[in-house]
Amino acid sequence: MSKFIWMHGALALAMSFPAWAATDADLAEIREQIRQLKESYEARIQALEQKLKDAETAKSAPAAAAPASPVAAALPATSSASGIAAFNPAISAVLQGRYANLSQDPSKFAIGGFAPGGDIGPGRRGFSLSESELAISANVDHLFAGNLIVALTPENTVSVEEAYGIYTAAPYGLVPKFGRFFSGLGYMNEQHQHAWDFIDAPLAYQAFLGGQYANDGLQVKWVAPTDQFLELGAEVGNGDNFPGSMRNKNGAGSGVIYAHTGGDIGASHSWRAGVSYLQTRAEDREYSQLDLTGNNAQVAFNGTSHVAIADFVWKYAPNGNPLYTNFKLQGEYFWRRESGDFTYDVDGALHLTNTSAYTSRQSGWYLQGVYQFMPYWRVGARYDRLDPGHVDYGTNAAYLDAPAFHPERSTLMVDYTPSEFSRIRLQYGQSKTQAGMTDNQLFLQYILTLGAHGAHKF
Amino acid sequence: MKSHSQWLLVTLVVAWVGPAAAALNVFATVPEWGALTGELGGDKVKVYTATNPLQDPHHVEAKPSLIGRARGADLVVATGAELEIGWLPLVTQQAGNPKVQAGKPGYFEAASFVPILDKPSRLDRSEGDVHAAGDPHIQTDPRNIARVAGPLSARLAELDPENAAYYQTRYKAFAERWNAAIARWEKEGAPLRGVPILVQHKGFTYLIAWLGMKEVAALEPKPGVEPTTAHLSEVLATVQRQPVKMVLRAAYQSDRASQWIAERAKINAVVLPFTVGGDDAAKDLFGLFDDTIERLRKGLQ
């Protein structure tokens, strides 16, 4: 702008020049003005040249300019609550591995008198990786929360353990949940395996639910508006999993209802108790069973399965502080009634194929206690027992013997938990799941949790 | 018979709705916020405190009793800064109460109104049980209580507009008394300025900053990790080079490590109530700081 004024002034000067009758004094004045103009421009050009030089120097040395921003460098790494990363869900991984010493061949594992199904047995001998778990969870928006838990098996397969949404804005104490989830029945069923107090599931869970009962479907829980905790839950699902089986049909394949209540007694005791009921259907639930003549016959069950569970847990922590010492006692009782058709020699290998009416009433329970006697160290004991109950094979009684053996197992464990993210466990079990066979089981296990892992349920 | 059942229905409805309308149900995660809500809300609030003063706030479980109480709450008052991360999200998710979900007016986090100290520059679990959001034990500085009181009072008024004037009056009265008390505590605590001390757990950052004490070392080798003999010996060596006056621990902590170092270094082991109800004298928020200052002054002798 000032440059324009100067030029303008110079032009005006030049143009007005011839119109004057020039005197010596005038000429001197004009010369003086031109000199001033020249000096002024020289100074300005010099200033511009200096600016250009400075800019070039700065450009050639960008590294030297970097430390000139101490503000950015001093900011703590955690203050970045903005940007895309802030919306990352909580991600965690659970790493598990073990060493197993089993006196009986695990491939011959069976629970005498109980139909096998799901993921049961003590697993392989020697060193092996257990399931690695990957969990991702976050609030979806103001209405939903989501959770995905993927299990990477040591056989290099991937399975979706849980993948569900929760509607968090429901009124009247309702908590709807949908997708694939571990059913809310019983006490231990909803817990992931790495949160268990022993390396393996109780025999009752293995015999009646195939380890752990999951469903693809819908769950609605209702929490009563009372200070005393009371929740009622109902679930419908496809019923693909043991004791049911996959069926090609519309509608719900299984239903679960349950009620839980619990509370505190003083500052040191808390408890929860519940009852649950599962109804599902099995279609051609096929497995092999030893018949009266010692043949391994293929048999199949078609019918309905009803499972009822009563559960309780009691936790003691002096003054509510579990850090130094605490004690946990839990137990669950299972009943199962199955009725329908039972086919012996279903593949005809023995040329004796026969279908008959079938009913069974069986039960089982476990009781376990875990005591933390000093910071980081816990010991635990568990006893499992199953009752073969009453099995009516109908006309198949000609080929199959109703079971009379009571499977049982006694287990001891000690674990070391240096932080809430790591645990090392040693477990010894004496398992008598088949008549005349005792499996002495020794396990050494590690559980490591990385990342932002959600809190565990009570 | 018909009128009987009608009466029964009316009684049931009244029993159901009645208590909720009488007062604002507040679920406070720790005793200090329960006490503050009581000061500000008077008889217009019904406060349930989820943890007791002798409970380690880092190790709380999502117990059924907490879910039951969160179900009926109109307002959850939490510390925030990840103090309750191990249980509160699970409790609010299980409680079936949309009013108290994070982000709703029924969810209040005290730490968001306070300048947070000790934000870790390095987030790694090998550093122990570090709080990623900074030190959450903000209640050990009374000025933080004052900072939280205003927004908390405003929140009560927002949720219960009918009694807004009541909350406002109570807040003004509380703030006046509280500021006068702070001035008194600061005067009483003046001799503590510059005094070198040890802490068992790094849980007194705000108290130490407020009174100008000097934290020389912590007995826990890493935050949340139990003191080991090896680390205690190191601390003892430090203390012999650089003398300290006392070792501080919170009432909920075991006294073993503090006693060990106190005997060997010939210093005072001082137990602080840490929160309201942490000892007999700390009956309310005023008592908490009266007693804290008094115990610290005794520790100087």
Tokens of B32: 């200090």
Q: CB A78 to CB B133 under 8 A?
A: yes
Q: Is residue A41 part of a domain?
A: no
Q: CB B65 to CB A264 under 8 A?
A: yes
| CATH code for the domain in which residue A193 is found | 2.40.160
**How far is the C-alpha of A256 from the C-alpha of A11, rounded, in Å?**
98
Taking Cα atoms as reference points, which of A194, A176, A7, A9 lies closest to residue A96? A194
Predicted pLDDT at A226 = 92
| CATH code for the domain in which residue B230 is found | 3.40.50.1980
Domain boundary among B184, B199, B231: B184
Q: Is residue A135 part of a domain?
A: no
Average pLDDT over all residues of chain B: 91
Compare all CA atoms of chain B with the CA of A142 and give the residue at the minimum distance.
B103
Predicted pLDDT at B121 = 78
Q: Is residue B44 part of a domain?
A: yes
Query: Which domain, by its residues, includes A259?
Result: 99-120+168-449
Domain match, B179 and B221 both: no
Residue B81 · residue B116 · CB < 8 Å: yes
Mean pLDDT of A30-55: 65
Q: Is residue A299 part of a domain?
A: yes
Total domains, chain B: 2
Tokens of B236: 């003892």
Of all residues in chain B, the percent with pLDDT exceeding 70 is 93
Residue A411 · residue A391 · CB < 8 Å: no
Q: Is residue B5 part of a domain?
A: no
Closest Cα of chain A to B113: distance in Å?
16
Domain match, B209 and B274 both: yes
Mean pLDDT of A48-63: 54
Domain match, B81 and B179 both: yes
Mean pLDDT of B147-159: 97
Predicted pLDDT at A148 = 97
Domain match, B18 and B152 both: yes
Query: How does residue A67 score in pLDDT terms, banded at 50, 70 and 90?
Result: very low
Mean pLDDT of A118-144: 93
**How far is the C-alpha of B226 from the C-alpha of A380, rounded, in Å?**
23
Mean pLDDT of A262-289: 96
Residue B40: Cβ-neighbour burial (10 angstroms; 0-12, 13-18, 19+)? buried
Q: Is residue B122 part of a domain?
A: no
Domain match, B143 and B65 both: yes
Q: Is residue A11 part of a domain?
A: no
Q: Is residue A392 part of a domain?
A: yes
Helix-then-strand count for chain A, H and E: 5, 17
Q: CB A223 to CB B96 under 8 A?
A: yes
Compare all CA atoms of chain A with the CA of B104 and give the residue at the minimum distance.
A142
Domain match, B216 and B159 both: no
Total domains, chain A: 1
Q: Is residue B121 part of a domain?
A: no
Q: Is residue B7 part of a domain?
A: no
Predicted pLDDT at B124 = 82
Predicted pLDDT at B122 = 78
Predicted pLDDT at B243 = 94
Q: Is residue A127 part of a domain?
A: no
Query: Which domain, by its residues, includes B147?
Result: 13-114+127-184
Q: Is the pLDDT of residue B83 over 70?
A: yes
Predicted pLDDT at A41 = 65
Q: Is residue B1 part of a domain?
A: no
Q: Work out the number of other CB atoms within 10 angstroms of the CB of residue A250.
A: 5
Residues paired with residue A338 on neighbouring β-strands, in sequence order = A305, A360
Q: Is residue A3 part of a domain?
A: no
Domain match, B178 and B51 both: yes
Q: CB B93 to CB A166 under 8 A?
A: yes
Domain match, B194 and B178 both: no
Domain match, B29 and B132 both: yes
Predicted pLDDT at A53 = 60
Q: Is the pLDDT of residue A11 over 50?
A: no
More confident residue, B47 or A457: B47
* Identity of the residue in B61, B65, B119 whose CB atom sits nearest the CB atom of A78: B119
Chain A residues whose CB is inside 8 A of the B103 CB are 142
**CA angle, B148 then B64 then B131, to 5°:** 45
**How far is the C-alpha of B121 from the C-alpha of B239, rounded, in Å?**
26
On the question of a cis peptide bond just before residue B53, with omega within 30 degrees of 0, the verdict is: no
**How far is the C-alpha of A135 from the C-alpha of A148, rounded, in Å?**
6
Predicted pLDDT at A55 = 59
Domain match, B195 and B292 both: yes
Instruction: Name the amino acid, one letter, at B33.
Output: W
Domain match, B97 and B38 both: yes
Predicted pLDDT at A1 = 42
Beta strands across the sheet bearing B196-199: B214-218, B196-199, B246-250, B268-272
Domain boundary among B184, B199, B225: B184
SS3 B237: helix
Q: What is the pLDDT of residues A378-437, one digit of tens each?
A: 999 999 999 999 999 999 999 999 999 999 999 999 999 999 899 999 999 999 999 999
Q: Is residue A22 part of a domain?
A: no
Q: Is the pLDDT of residue A18 over 80?
A: no
pTM greater than 0.80: yes
Predicted pLDDT at A455 = 85
Q: What is the ipTM of this complex?
A: 0.87
For testing contact with chain B, the best of A87, A141, A143, A229 (most B CBs within 10 A): A229
Q: CB A322 to CB B59 under 8 A?
A: yes
Q: Is the pLDDT of residue B174 over 50?
A: yes
Q: Is residue B86 part of a domain?
A: yes
Q: What is the pLDDT of residues A228-243, one digit of tens each?
A: 999 999 999 999 999 9
Q: Is the pLDDT of residue A7 over 70?
A: no
Q: Is the pLDDT of residue A308 over 90?
A: yes
Mean pLDDT of A142-167: 94
Q: Is residue B119 part of a domain?
A: no
Query: How does residue B22 score in pLDDT terms, banded at 50, 70 and 90?
Result: low
Domain match, B293 and B208 both: yes
Predicted pLDDT at B14 = 43
Domain boundary among B165, B184, B203: B184
